[in-house]
Copies of this chain bind each other. A is one copy, B any other.
Amino acid sequence: MYTMSTSKSYHHGDLRPALIQAALELLREGGTEALSLRAVTRRAGVSAMAPYRHFPEKEALLASVAAHGFNRLRATLSTADSNAADAREALAAQGVAYVRFACEDPALFRLMFGAAQPRNYPELGAAGDAAYGVLAGRVASFCREAERADVALTCWSVVHGLASLLVDGQLRQDASPVMLAERVTRLVLRSVR
């Protein structure tokens, strides 16, 4: 599956990323519940003990998976931001991208932000900060300093809230996540100067 060479060898050769990849697949297919260490090893075609060469414990693998998620989120936000016409449009585009990201991979979103979120892994903290930086940077680009913190927090809250409600099945709306995100983002932007 994830072997680099075609020959079936005793050594996998690239197990660490393969484990992260397997974990991402399991998250997509079965949610957080399906993400056991043993399931990951089964998916990667490796013994139950193999991960311990690369991660000291299950939590550390989860932290790497979450960090991977934050890196993807940062890239998504950056792309949305730079494709926009002006600063306020860029902020709106980031909001929509945030919600779309969550809905495309709900279990990953939950792992990144939810109760099961791994703690005290510097790699993870840094990846999260980098993603947040994309939003904060955009806010700083047009918002006067005294209001920046509140505006950034409000923007983050509204898209995080909408994403969470969607991901957790609280909304019975017919509208697509992206349409809802656009309407909500638009409304909040009215109050951002």
List the interface of chain A (C-beta within 8 A of B): 31-32, 107, 110, 113-115, 117, 119, 128, 150-151, 153-154, 156-165, 168-171, 173, 180, 183-184, 187-192
Contacts and interface: CB of A to CB of B under 8 A. Distances in A.
A19 B81 CA distance: 50
A154 B161 CA distance: 9
A154 B173 CA distance: 13
A153 B32 contact: no
Given A184-B157, A187-B151, A191-B190, A115 B168 contact: yes
Given A115-B114, A187-B150, A156 B160 contact: no
Contacts of A115: 31-32, 107, 110, 114, 168
A156 B150 contact: no
Most buried by B among A113, A158, A168, A184: A158
B150 A160 contact: no
Contacts of A190: 190-191
A160 B165 contact: yes
B187 A154 contact: yes
A15 B188 CA distance: 47
A159 to B, nearest CB: 7
A114 B113 contact: no
A105 to B, nearest CB: 13
